[in-house]
Every structure is written in structure tokens, then in C-alpha cells.
Structure 1
Amino acid sequence: MKGLGTGMGWRPEIADAVERLPGVDWVEVVAENVCPGHVPDSLTRLRERGVTVVPHGVSLGLGGADRPDEARLARLAATATALGAPLVTEHVAFVRAGGPRTASPVLEAGHLLPVPRTREALDVLCENVRIAQEALPVPLALENAAALFAWPGDELTEGRFLAELVERTGVRLLIDVANLHTNRVNRGDDPAAALAELPVEAIAYVHVAGGVERDGVWHDTHAHPVPPQVLDLLSQLAARAVPPGVLLERDDDFPPEEELAAELAAIRERVAAAGPSRHPAAAPAGAPGPGEARGRAGAPAGTRAPDHATAPAGTRAPDHATAPTEARAPHRTDAPAEAWEAAPEAARERLALRQTALLSALVAGTPAPEGFDGARLRQQALALARKRAGVVARLAPELPVLLGAGYREAFVAYARTRPMAGGYRRDALDFARHLLDSGRPGDVRARRRLYRWWAERAGPRPAGRAARLVHAARAALVV
């Protein structure tokens, strides 16, 4: 595959617009939103036109204490194969915690949370990355995460953490310059220092997105225009090495088509201004990694990876989608064989305890762990609850209609101390049951309508009056 060029995040809400936008060389799709056996027609049409499609995962949680789930990895691999993708991407983040290692229920964040930048956490991450690389048919690239808070006791800068991750695993990097800006505002990180420490030859592509600042906190919304500060960081990165691809992300509040086209044009201008003739290009997606000079595990030293990308950014990708996946050599890892050391189980257990305590504070209302900024954790907890409210509203649009203007406030209050028990659809049912158990809504007719909605989806009748009083009393005792 040649250089990716300029891309657009594909979302069902703007699928038609993405197909019409001029100069879109490739698209990225949330991997969990695609069923390998039923690729959306829009993506099929794009592939037939020669547009590259890259699956972007959000649920592996490679930065978590547990090893990657085999079923999730298998699904991601199947999605990559179904899309004829040259690579897949995920995040340096954790998304769940708890379970057997901590003798506690598994907690889901519903969000990408930052990992501690410690040597021990890096050991765990590296092993998890290698497991994922073994399970995937194409190279893996990992994205730096945005954060509202910092972990106490970090031992490495973000740039150094990512550089050592690349050195030890050969994984590619997906650099999100919007996330670098987010961390500058929220944690005081220096994005210039991070860019200076990054191994630019490992960059697969770059994300650009918008956000908004409220009360001194930057919210990485993907629902606002790309600000000048983010474009400036793109220019700084491209001045070091022109990235093989740059992609505009937009997840909500989709603007008119012409505004998307204008943002794409601004991205092209920033990359072009860096001058590919004046700066060496970063290693393209799928090219040999830093560790591969020492030999790919299981292959002779000097063996070259499949030629996934060699043309300069902006060159249109060929129609690789018609080539059978079997024709591409399976990707394993760029790391040398001697680096394949398992993280100590004690390290995983310590990380599990730290991440579970943090996530419990964010989604279950328990006290903030020692050393964390309590105010920032409260802001993060509120953001997570609001995000859950938004997702539930999209999956169960009847609830905001039934509850009116009070829906969001009621759901956020519910979510602050009640973790998700089984996905967002179950979350909607549990929220409705919580309202019914506490005698809400106050209007009898509205409560009956909510009951009918709940009963049609949950099956059994909700508890009687006496049981509802007991449930309400128990809920009042939860801190």
C-alpha cells in the first residue's frame, strides 16, 4: 500500500457526505461498529473506488492489567480481513478494571483512560501489545490518549513512554495531535517535548480533531471545529517528518459538507507547507519498525515487511481491497525474539489494584485514590456519566422523550454511583428500573408509560410497592 494521504473518519451519519468529499484518499471506521460479515454498503463502494479503509479499535484495553481478550482480538482480525485493511489501530489506554485479580466485579469505563507512565505498567503494556500483534493479520498502530488527569508517580514522559514501547515491540504509532493539545491544557504536558522524543519513523498516521475549553479544562469532543493550536501541532510534527497519512475525526454535531471539506483542505495545506522535498517522510504504515533491523521474530534478520506504504503523503492509495488477504504476509512483531519476556504476574496484580481503585472512584462513587487530584477526578467522573447519558439516549431515544428535560440530569445522578452492568442497552433498562423503584417520574401517567417501555424490553414485571420501597431505601444508603 502506498502513502495513505488525507483521510476522513467514516461515520454512518455522514457516510454519504464522505463519499462525495473531494480528495478523500482513505477512511477510518470504528472497528466495533462494523460486523465483518456485513460491511456497510458505503464502505464497500469506497473500497471499490480504491479508497483504503482502516479499522480503529476502542475496546481492547491494551493498557489494562489483563491480557487481551481472545474473542475481541479475533473479531478485530476478522474486521481487518473483511475490509482489506493494511493495518489496524488501537489505543494506549485501559477501558475496564477489576475481576479475579482484585476479587471484585469487572468495571467498564465506557471511555479510554490513560495508563500510568511507569516501568511496570510499560512491561504489562508491551506484553499485551505482543499478544495482539500475534493475533492480527496486519500491523498494529497505537494512539496516544487524551486525559483529564495525571497518575501520581509517573516515571516517564509521554514521548519517552511511547518511544520505549516502539523500541521494545516494534509497534507503529498513531499520533493524535488533538490529544497532545488536550494534555497540554489539562495536565501541563509539553507537546513540543513529546514530539521531539517520538520516533518519527514509527508513525503510521496522524489524527486531527476539534474540542472545546470550559473552565480551564479541554474537552476532546470531536464535535467542534479543529482549533488553530491543533493545526499548529500538526505543522510542528510535519516539520520533523511528513506523516504518511493525516485523518480528520468528527464524531458528533456534524457540520455541513462544505465545512468538512474546508477542514480537510486546511489539513492538506499544513502538511504541504512542511515540504516533503525538505523533510524526510516518516516510515509509512506497515514499513519495518525500529526493532526490525535486528530481525523480525521468527524471520531472518533483515527480512522486509510487506510493502504497505512507500509513496509520499497525498499519493492516492491503489485499490488494494480487491487483493486477497492471504496474499499479504501475516504480521507478527518487529521486536527481537529476546525481548519476548512476560510481565511478572505481581506487576499485573499491582496495576490491576491501582486501575480498579481509580475506575471505582470514577464510575462507582468511591473515594479518590491517594495522590490523585480529587477535583480532576470529579470532572472526569462527570464527563463519563454525561457520555453514558448521551450514548443511552442514542440507543434508547424513547427515554429522553418519556422523561423530558429532566432526562440528562436524572441519568447523570444515577450513573455517578452505578457502574454499567452489561453494555449500554442494559444500562438503559437498569436506569428505567431504578426510576420505577424510586417512584419516578412523579407524574402517574408518565410513570406508567415508562413502565410499559421497560416491561416490553425487560420481560418480568418490576417489583411491587413494598419491594420498591426496600430498593429505594438501599439506594439511599449508597455513598
Structure 2
Amino acid sequence: MERLGTGIGWRPEIADAVEAMPGIDWVEVVAENVCPGHLPESLLRLRERGVTVVPHGVALGLGGADRPDEGRLTALAERVEALGSPLVTEHIAFVRAGGPLTASPRLEAGHLLPVPRTRDALDVLCENIRIAQDALPVPLAVENIAALIGWPGEELTEGQFLYELADRTGVHLLIDVANLHTNHVNRGEDPAKALAELPLEAIAYVHVAGGFERDGVWHDSHAHPVPRPVLDILEDLASRVRPPGVLLERDENFPEPAELERELASIRGAVEAGRSVRESAGSAGPGAEDLTARPEASDHSPDHGSGRGPAPDEAARQRLGLAQAALLSALVAGTPVPEGFDRARLRVQARALAAKRAEVVAKVAPELPEILGRGFRAAFLGYAQRHPMTGGYRHDALAFAEHLLHDGEVGGARARRELRTWWLDRSGPTPRHRPHTRLARATRKVLLRR
């Protein structure tokens, strides 16, 4: 795997600061936030300077029961080509559930949700990753995610699950040490044990990020400084293997550039401290690490990258699909909690999903909070309780505005006029999303008469 060095997540809010930062070898960009034909000038300038740009996808849902969508794979491949990237990354997660496979409504989480560490889920994930690998022009790396909740009846530890995944598919791993810390706090999982079970030679690079703890739950916010325990896990990893690349993620609440540079310095310090431990143990240099440790309970593991292992039958996909649909429906539609889940923890996750949904809608449609003022958040959260997300966030914003106009839940004539104008400008003569087409047409006729 190519040596990347030290990097930072590129975001429009800190684009100028990133360009001016010393010692930045590479950047990572959220794949869905860039258009191949209209790349931001900042990214183009970085590329001209020889800075590597890696697209990081968030919408494939490789851990879902359905096979990866061809259109999403094509779009991801286009971004890889446009950015001239040496690899592309995604997540071990599901982001939607339901649909024809389960004969239930299609629901979107708007967030990365954990995959059960079961044989069924592993078989499905392996086949989905092989499909993605065949469709992408460069190597794929997949990331372990942070989780507030755990699945009942899991059959593998995180380390065993990741080892078998890499072993059976040859996929590279993006190890997020902040997510290992999150799962330590929230699920009682030992980061050192997970690192000991990983196939270290499969690591493509490492993510580092901050978060916060509230009421005994760690929230992987990407909006707070990197805490010492996360740096300690990074140091532990670096004591076992030389990571090809390490990247600081920051998505919100951006500090001054000097603070980001201090965090990058702390990250470099943790990697250097780990290297010193590795060298003192006689494992200096890449390729000299002790890679003999392997997870137990792996009778099904074939040779690394052979592509062998059981392919999932449709019954396995359906079982996984039904389980994921039941969980997501409980989180976003208020249906009963599936047996075996922690109800209190599910309530925390449900609130977090609704809050994120409101925040992202406010970003993709900033006119809505401007029109509705302080009432936006309460109005949207009330709407979200009764209307699960079925499409992307832009569709969600349109559906929310349509709901307000149809039900008359807008305070003041001026706000209603502005909201009506906003919706009409963006909905078009025939809204594209069929579930809302009839209502949208009726609403449009009413609005045009006013």
C-alpha cells in the first residue's frame, strides 16, 4: 500500500487553512460532496502541488442486505478518476434498509449504522465488497465504524470480523482509532484486543478524531479535540506496525488553524512514540512487524485475498435485511424495539439520528432555518418523528417544506410566502420522487392559486 504520510480531512470551511498548513502530505474528501466536473479550486491547487487526494464514501451501505447500487459505484469511480486517487475508501456499515428484499418500506438512516458480527452478515459483506472492488478502478479500503448500540447474538469480535473480511476479499482496512475508543466506552470492547486480532499488513491508513462523553455514552462528533485515550490507541497501533498514513478528521466546530496544527503535531508524536516502542522491540522498519498473531475461532478463514468462502444465498440476505429493517424502523419510525437490544441505548441512538438529520437539512437547505427562525429545529424534529427519511437529505428538505405548507404549520404570513416561493422554485412542475408526487401536485395547485 502506498505511503501517504500525515493528512487532514479537506472541508470547504478550512480549505484555505489546509492549503497553508506545513507538512500536509495528503487530504481526504467526502466523495459525495464533490462533483467530478466541478472540483473545488482548492483541491485542484493541492493536486497541482502533488498532494494526494483520497475520496471517502459515506453512502454505499456495503454492510446492507442489498447488493451495492450500480449508480453509486459508478459515481464513486468517477470521483476517483477525477481526483487521480491511488485508492478509495468506504465504511463497514448499513445506511438504508427495507425495500423489495423485505417487502417493507425503504428507509434511510442518514447515518452509518453497525453491521451485526455474524456469519450471515460477513458473507453478505464479503460479496458486496467483491462487487465494489470489481467496479472501482483503484484498491478499496473499508473503515470500522463507531457505534452507540450493539447487536444481540454476535458470533465474532470486531478483530475477528475484520480479519476474516480482509482474509476472504483482499480488501484493505481503514482503521479509525477514535472509533475503537468509542466502542470501548459504549460497548466495553478492548481496543488492544481488537488491534491484536487485526491483519496489520492490510491497513491502508488510520483515522484520528475527537468526540465527547455524555451520560456514559461517547459521541464520535468529529467536532472536538482529539482526546488522550485516542492518541494512546494510535500509539499502540504504531507500536505494532508502521501505518502507511494517518489523517485527522474534523467536520464541524472548526478551530483556528494553529489548533489544528497542534493536533497534527500530537498525532505525529503518538506515531513516533509507537515507532520507538516497535524499534526497541526489534521490529524496526516496514515489513518487519510481527504479523503472526491471528484471531482464534477462524475455522472458516481461507487464504488471504483468495476470494473463497461461502457466498451468501438469498435467504441469508433476506434474514439480514429483515433484521436491519426492524432495527432501523425502531430507530426512525417508532416501531417496537427488536428483541435483545438495549432499549435505553436505542433511544439515545434515535435522538442522535434525528438531531443529525435536522443539522444536515439545515446545511443543505440553509434557507429553511432562515425562513422559520428559531422554530426550525422544533418543527423539523416534530416532523421527523412521524416521517422517516426515504431519500437523500435534499429530498428530505423538500418533503419537510411541503409538509409544512400542506398542514399549515408555518408561523406568519411572510414566512409562509417565503417558504412557498422556496418550495416552488425547487420542486419543479413534477416532483421527481414518486412517494410524494400526488401530494406534491395537489399542494402545488393550491399554492399556485394563492
CA–CA distance in structure 1, aligned partners of residues 134 and 397 of structure 2: 37
1:428 aligns with 2:397: yes
Query: Secondary structure, in 3 states, of the residue corresponding to 2:7?
Result: strand
Alignment deviations for residues 347-387 of structure 1 (CA, whole Å, 9 cap, x no partner)? 00100100011111112221111111111111111111111
The counterpart of 1:336, out of the listed 296, 301, 306, is: 306
1:447 aligns with 2:416: yes
Displacement of 1:457 in angstroms is 2.8
- Please give the residue correspondences for 1:374-453 in structure 2 after superposition, counting only pairs within 5 Å: 374-453=343-422
Equivalent residue number for residue 458 of structure 1? 427
Q: Confirm or deny: 8 A CA contact 1:202 1:282 kept in the other structure.
A: no
Displacement of 1:281 in angstroms is 5.3
- Please give the residue correspondences for 1:286-325 in structure 2 after superposition, counting only pairs within 5 Å: none
TM normalised by structure 2 equals 0.88
1:150 aligns with 2:150: yes
1:166 aligns with 2:136: no
Equivalent AA in structure 2 for residue 163 of structure 1: Y
Equivalent AA in structure 2 for residue 455 of structure 1: L
Equivalent residue number for residue 50 of structure 1? 50
1:115 aligns with 2:118: no
Residue 27 to residue 281, structure 1, CA distance change in 2 (3 Å): farther
Displacement of 1:5 in angstroms is 0.8
Equivalent residue number for residue 305 of structure 1? none
Equivalent AA in structure 1 for residue 366 of structure 2: P
Displacement of 1:176 in angstroms is 0.3
Equivalent AA in structure 1 for residue 305 of structure 2: A
- Please give the residue correspondences for 1:199-348 in structure 2 after superposition, counting only pairs within 5 Å: 199-275=199-275, 277-278=279-280, 279-280=283-284, 335-336=305-306, 339=308, 341-348=310-317
CA–CA distance in structure 1, aligned partners of residues 350 and 178 of structure 2: 21
Gaps of 5+ in 2: 289-293, 295-302, 430-439
Q: Confirm or deny: 8 A CA contact 1:117 1:155 kept in the other structure.
A: yes
Equivalent AA in structure 1 for residue 185 of structure 2: V
Equivalent residue number for residue 191 of structure 2? 191
Query: Secondary structure, in 3 states, of the residue corresponding to 1:24?
Result: coil
Displacement of 1:447 in angstroms is 3.1
CA–CA distance in structure 1, aligned partners of residues 275 and 287 of structure 2: 16
Q: CA RMSD in A?
A: 2.2
CA–CA distance in structure 1, aligned partners of residues 234 and 284 of structure 2: 16
Q: Confirm or deny: 8 A CA contact 1:362 1:380 kept in the other structure.
A: yes
CA–CA distance in structure 2, aligned partners of residues 127 and 148 of structure 1: 26
Equivalent residue number for residue 89 of structure 1? 89
Query: Secondary structure, in 3 states, of the residue corresponding to 1:101?
Result: coil
Equivalent residue number for residue 322 of structure 1? none
The counterpart of 2:327, out of the listed 330, 336, 358, is: 358
CA–CA distance in structure 2, aligned partners of residues 357 and 197 of structure 1: 31
CA–CA distance in structure 1, aligned partners of residues 212 and 102 of structure 2: 37
Displacement of 1:280 in angstroms is 4.6
Q: Confirm or deny: 8 A CA contact 2:167 2:306 kept in the other structure.
A: no
Displacement of 1:341 in angstroms is 4.5
CA–CA distance in structure 2, aligned partners of residues 197 and 335 of structure 1: 17
Gaps of 5+ in 1: 285-289, 291-332, 469-479
Moved more, 67-76 or 17-26: 67-76
CA–CA distance in structure 2, aligned partners of residues 138 and 462 of structure 1: 44
How many residue pairs get aligned? The number is 418
CA–CA distance in structure 2, aligned partners of residues 283 and 204 of structure 1: 14
Equivalent residue number for residue 133 of structure 2? 133
Alignment deviations for residues 48-74 of structure 1 (CA, whole Å, 9 cap, x no partner)? 111111111111111010111111112
Q: Confirm or deny: 8 A CA contact 1:212 1:220 kept in the other structure.
A: yes
CA–CA distance in structure 2, aligned partners of residues 426 and 136 of structure 1: 27
Equivalent residue number for residue 70 of structure 1? 70
Equivalent residue number for residue 31 of structure 1? 31
Q: Confirm or deny: 8 A CA contact 1:124 1:347 kept in the other structure.
A: yes
CA–CA distance in structure 2, aligned partners of residues 282 and 129 of structure 1: 27
CA–CA distance in structure 2, aligned partners of residues 147 and 281 of structure 1: 34
Q: Confirm or deny: 8 A CA contact 2:120 2:316 kept in the other structure.
A: yes
TM normalised by structure 1 equals 0.83
Displacement of 1:450 in angstroms is 2.7
Displacement of 1:412 in angstroms is 1.4
Equivalent AA in structure 2 for residue 257 of structure 1: P
Displacement of 1:189 in angstroms is 1.3
